[in-house]
Amino acid sequence: MRYPITPDGRYFLVRGRLWRMSDPSLDPERRDELVKELMSARSAKGRAIRAGDREAREAARQRVDAAKHALGERGPVWWDEGAPDYNRKMARNTPYADWAEAQSPPGVGS
C-alpha cells in the first residue's frame, strides 16, 4: 500500500499521523544501503524481543535509530528554509490538517 505524501514531499500519512520522508538528496546507492541496514536492524530487534534478549534488543534499537538518522527520517530536518518539523504529529494538529482530511475516504474521519 502506498501512503499519501504531503504536497511538499516532507511527510507521508499513516492513520492520521505524519512520518518524515527520507532525505531526497541522498545518493540512491547510499539510500539503498541505509534502507537495507534499517530492515536488518528491525529484523534483529524483532528476534531479540522474541528471545527476551534485552542487550541485543537495545543494540538493534540503536542500529534502527542510527539508520533513520542517516536517512534523514529523524534528527535535524533535511530542508533548509526553517519550517518546523511535524514528524510523528497527528496531522489534524498541524498546518497539514486540511490536506490530511482530504486524504480520507468519504465518510471516514481522521
Residue 100 in any domain: the answer is yes
Full domain range(s) for residue 40: 25-72
0.85 surpassed by pTM: yes
Residue 103 in any domain: the answer is yes
Residues 10 and 33 reside in one and the same domain: no
Residue 54 in any domain: the answer is yes
Task: Quick: pLDDT tens for 39-48.
Answer: 999 999 999 9
Residues 58 and 96 reside in one and the same domain: no
* Helices within 1-110 (DSSP H only): 28-51, 54-71, 97-103
Residues 89 and 110 reside in one and the same domain: yes
By C-alpha distance, which of 2, 14, 18 is closest to 83? Answer: 18
Task: Quick: pLDDT tens for 1-35.
Answer: 589 999 999 999 999 999 999 999 999 999 999 99
